[in-house]
Structure 1
Amino acid sequence: MADELELLRRANPVPSDDHRFQDRPLDQHAERRLNQLLHRGRSRHLRRWTWTLGTAAAVGVIVLTLMLSGSTTTPAVAAPRPLLIEAGSTPVPLDRLADRAAASDNVPRLRQGTHVQTWSLSLTSGPGARPPITLPEERVVRWEADGSHTELVVATDPRRPGRPVITDADPVPRTVEDGHVLSRLTYPPSWSDAPPQAQPPHDAKRLRAYLEEIDPVETLNTSRLLDAAAQLLDNWTLGPRENAALARILADAQGLRPAGAVTDRLGRQGQAYVYDDKAHFQRRMLILDPATGAVLGLEDTVTKDDPEYGLKAGDVMSYRAWMR
């Protein structure tokens, strides 16, 4: 029991000073983290995840190098390389995308729930540390009219159908079949008036206040704005008005610059916007649909070598691809 309590203390899935968890049921992210901790074996390695805001999620195309000399061999996977901006492409300002989003008539209305594919690196340090391992997952969350919802998480790499997929759902990383179900959870009816479960507004001023409430501990700088936007998209599939409001907020974000056209990890055409987070040695690339202004993906890339964790500048730490 002492070991389990220590795991919970270190993970701190429900901070005591976070107003979102006071006098309310836990949201699905806190419940999922608790469930993962209860069913995941213990590890003496230090594992550092780059899920933004301490949550789970990120998928894209990765270069798998499976070293499977036997059934008990731990697989090793090279970190994916960052997406490349198309040479000669013309960057599109975010305020122009906001206008396109507002005028878009082929985007369904706002709905609660999400469909996201994620890639992220699992890292260890110290004696016997393994190389970074890229973990691809797909998560589908659907809400019902009575306030209940389901969450399905599978191990899959859509660019390599039928190939083995590495998962860290067990004490030791291993390969599973493509489409292997990691978890299938059903949650009873619940409601919350706190972001990100509360319905997001569709005007820029109120939506910014909503995003600030997701993480009220510190000032909503550009990096935290991207984190909060990811949290929003992990809970809601936005409609045209919400897409436009979010694009207008991002257009005012300091240091987020248009970079040009890019093909995302699911083969979709997008416009890239880049922010250099010098404090954390990361390059963050946000990808938006050039026709509708919807956010397609978010990529975090290391900009400085970190020998302790086996990272090299240019390694992609995490990637999320949101779908409808």
Structure 2
Amino acid sequence: MPDELELLRDANPVPAHGPYYGDGPLDHRAERRLELMLRDEPAPPVRRRVPRARSLWGLAATAVVLATAFTALLGGPSGQPAVAAPRPLTVRAHSTAVPLDRMSQLAAAAAADGSPGLRRGTHVQSWSLGMSDDKPPVTLPEERVVRWRADDSHTELVVATDPRHPGRPVLTDEGDTPRLVADGHVLSRTTYPPSWSDAPPEARPPHDPAALRAYLTETARTGTGTLTTAELLDAVEELLDHWTLGARESAALVRVLADAGGLRPAGQVTDRLGRPGQAYTYDTRGERRLLILDPRTGAVLGLEATVTRDDPRYGVKAGDVMSYSAWMR
């Protein structure tokens, strides 16, 4: 009688060496084999004929899930980042690149009626690269929702989810060990007591560009006075992790970014939540930052950090996405 492992390998519709394994649709051959298996018909022979594919489907599916899990946790035989890792966003070829000065004018016009208004709290989807000295890097996606109450207390909900692959298991480092959890798994749910801090970024952000620049400088807490563009982008990220900006605050922020210099218009992109945006790049010390603005209102949609040179110490290569945040209203 044929060895069960050999039968399992023959029944598996997604071979480990296949180009679509782990993160994408099946190829044509795999689709045909899967269809035959589900219809309880014999599949075309690989090394031998499998007369009853359906009886092996449970084992085959288990093998695929386990192999996917090991690929995600260990980064695959080549030591590349886990299959959860997003690719860098690509600017649409030959698209129009809108300068920040022009975007500032568009944002100011969109903010004329003051709507929508500023809201305390945030809703952000993020991907971050977890690295260690002895394991391949893995990408950890999560979604965080912070909501404030009238008494100035607030709640923070963090779940493991990846909108690029709804319903699929998600990689997390909960407990300091990477593992797969169900999509939507609650990582933390915390209620915080009232807070009345008047220091940025907890303080209400202003909608005047000069005042907002001072606010962001205080947020960065560098103690060096004028912020570099990289420090400014870090301060913007911290601001957006505390507040959902209104139209007037977004317009002021675009003006601050335009005055800072260093951000180059790149063209149009579609962000990881499927939203159209205008992209601006900033390169510094082995990293490229990609800022994505709403083309109509200038609101910040996302911020991506990508490695621009290899770092063998942590197994990262040029083009790996170190972090990505997508903010929502």
TM-score, length basis structure 1: 0.76
Using the TM superposition, give the Cα deviation of residue 72 of structure 1 relative to its aligned residue in structure 2, in angstroms. 8.7
SS in 1 for 2:292: strand
SS in 2 for 1:227: helix
**1:245 corresponds to which residue?**
252
Using the TM superposition, give the Cα deviation of residue 67 of structure 1 relative to its aligned residue in structure 2, in angstroms. 7.5
**2:323 corresponds to which residue?**
318
The structure 1 residue matched to 2:132, chosen from 124, 132, 135, is 124
Q: Percent identity?
A: 67
**1:236 corresponds to which residue?**
243
- The amino acid that maps onto 1:110 is L
Structure 1 Cα separation of the partners of residues 90 and 174 of structure 2:
31
**1:86 corresponds to which residue?**
92
**2:141 corresponds to which residue?**
136
The structure 1 residue matched to 2:178, chosen from 173, 176, 195, is 173
TM-score, length basis structure 2: 0.74
**2:8 corresponds to which residue?**
none
SS in 2 for 1:244: helix
Which one has a bigger Cα radius of gyration?
A: 2
Structure 1 Cα separation of the partners of residues 165 and 131 of structure 2:
23
Structure 1 Cα separation of the partners of residues 315 and 207 of structure 2:
43
Question: For each residue in 1:70-104, what CA deviation from the matched residue of structure 2 results, as whole angstroms up to 9, or x when unmatched?
Answer: 98994531432211110111111112222222222
The structure 2 residue matched to 1:298, chosen from 303, 321, 325, is 303
Unaligned residue ranges in structure 1 (runs of 5+)? 1-62
Q: Does 1:100 align with 2:100?
A: no
The structure 1 residue matched to 2:212, chosen from 200, 207, 214, is 207
SS in 2 for 1:307: coil
Is contact 1:98-1:243 (8 Å) kept? no
Q: Does 1:267 align with 2:267?
A: no
What value does the CA root-mean-square deviation take over the aligned residues? 2.0
- The amino acid that maps onto 1:68 is L
Structure 2 Cα separation of the partners of residues 276 and 171 of structure 1:
31
Q: Which has the higher contact order (CA 8 A, sep 6+)?
A: 1
Q: Does 1:68 align with 2:66?
A: yes
Q: Does 1:223 align with 2:223?
A: no
Structure 1 Cα separation of the partners of residues 117 and 305 of structure 2:
29
SS in 1 for 2:165: coil
The structure 2 residue matched to 1:161, chosen from 149, 152, 166, is 166
The structure 2 residue matched to 1:258, chosen from 262, 265, 270, is 265
Q: 1:21-60 alignment to 2 at 5 Å?
A: none
Unaligned residue ranges in structure 2 (runs of 5+)? 1-21, 25-63, 76-81
Q: Does 1:115 align with 2:126?
A: no
Question: For each residue in 1:155-189, what CA deviation from the matched residue of structure 2 results, as whole angstroms up to 9, or x when unmatched?
Answer: 00112111000001113110000000000000111
